[in-house]
Amino acid sequence: MRLAMIEVDGRVGPALALPQGGFVDLAARGLPWSDLEELIEAGDEGLREAANEAGAAGPVTGKARLLCPLSRPEKIMCIGKNYADHCRELGSPLPERPVLFAKYRNALAGPGAEIELPASSRMIDYEAELAVVIGARCKNISPEEALSFVFGYTCANDLTMRDAQKADGQWTRAKSPDSFCPVGPWIVTADEIAGPQDLPIRLTLNGELMQESNTRQMVFSVAKLVSYLSSTMTLKPGDLLLTGTPPGVGAGRDPQVFLKKGDRVSVELEGIGNLENTMV
C-alpha cells in the first residue's frame, strides 16, 4: 500500500494513494486515525483495516494536496558516507561503522513544498536518500530480524548547508534549517518492497540528472543500520531513518553546484515514487 497524508476541502488526514491515481480518504471512511503515526502505531490490525478500504471506497472528491507523510517522529536519524560510490567520489575510505547524525522535526517538509534557502548560506546542497519508517518498538535486535520492524519506505532529500557544515566542525546547524528534510510523496509499506538493497535511486536538478545509483551500493544495509541503531537507543513507531546519499552531490562536482532560488529538485526511488520541491 501507498499511505499518504492529504489535505482535501480544508481537512487533513491519512489516505491511500491508488495505483491508477487519486486517493481513498481514510478519515472520511470513519477510520480512527488522525495521522499516519497513529496508523503505524496500530500495527498489523491498522494495516488490515486500511487495506480493506482500498477496494471498498473510491477516490476522494475535491482536489487533494499531498503533505509530508510524517509530522511527529520522535527521531530523525541520518547516516553519512553510506554509499561506496559516494565515498570514492569524495576520496574517502569506507567507514568502519555507520556515521550517525540527526535532524529535527522543524526540518520536515512535504512533496511540492517550497524549501526556504537561508540567507546566511550560499552553499546549499541536495542529497537523494532512501528513508526507512520504523513500524514497531525495538531494542537490541539483530540484523536478521531488523527488517521485520520496518513499516515502510519513502523518499527524502537531506539538504545541507555545506559552508556551515565545514565552519562548525559538526553537522547540526547545517542539517536542520526549516524545511531541510522533505519527505514523500507517501510511505510504501514494506511488504511491497521485495528488498531495500536493490532500488535504483536518482536526483534531477531542473530536469538534469545529478545523482544516479542503486541502494546495493550501501556500505551498511538497511537491516544492519536498524540493528546498529537499536543497540543504543529504543526505536519507536514512526521514527525516520535516512540511509545516506549516492555520488553526484553538488559539493563533489567540478565546478561545484549549489541550490538557488527557483531550482526544482526531484528525488526518485524505483517502486516508491517521486519527491519534488522548489527552492525559494
236 and 152 both lie in a single domain? yes
Domain stop point among 47, 67, 87: 67
pLDDT of residue 30: 86
**Do 63 and 165 belong to one domain?**
no
- Which of 16, 47, 67 is where one domain is finished? 67
Same domain, yes or no: 22 and 87: no
pLDDT of residue 261: 98
User: Both 117 and 207 in a single domain?
Assistant: yes
Q: What is the pTM of this model?
A: 0.96
Does 221 lie in the same domain as 145? Answer: yes
Residue-range definition of the domain harbouring residue 156: 76-279
User: Mean per-residue pLDDT for 213-217?
Assistant: 96
pLDDT attached to residue 58: 63
> Do 57 and 157 share a domain, yes or no?
no
Helix (H) or strand (E) run with residue 235 in it: none
Whether residue 81 is found in the same domain as residue 117: yes
Which of the four pLDDT bands, split at 50, 70 and 90, describes residue 59?
low
Please indicate whether residue 171 or residue 90 has the higher confidence score (pLDDT): 171
pLDDT at 242 over 60: yes
C-alpha cell at 66: 499531498
Shared domain check, 81 and 217: yes
35 and 122 both lie in a single domain: no
The predicted pLDDT at position 217 comes to 94
Q: Do residue 63 and residue 80 come from a single domain?
A: no
CATH number of the domain bearing residue 189: 3.90.850.10
Q: How far apart are CA 280 and CA 278, in angstroms?
A: 7
**pLDDT band at 88; cut points 50, 70, 90:** confident
Structural domain tally of the chain?
2
Among residues 23, 48, 67, the one where a domain terminates is: 67
264-269, strands of its sheet edge to edge: 114-115, 273-279, 264-269, 200-205, 208-214
Q: Residue 271 and residue 280: Cα distance in Å, rounded?
A: 29
Residues 181, 49 share a domain: no
Whether 181 and 232 map to the same domain: the answer is: yes
Is residue 22 pLDDT above 90, yes or no?
no
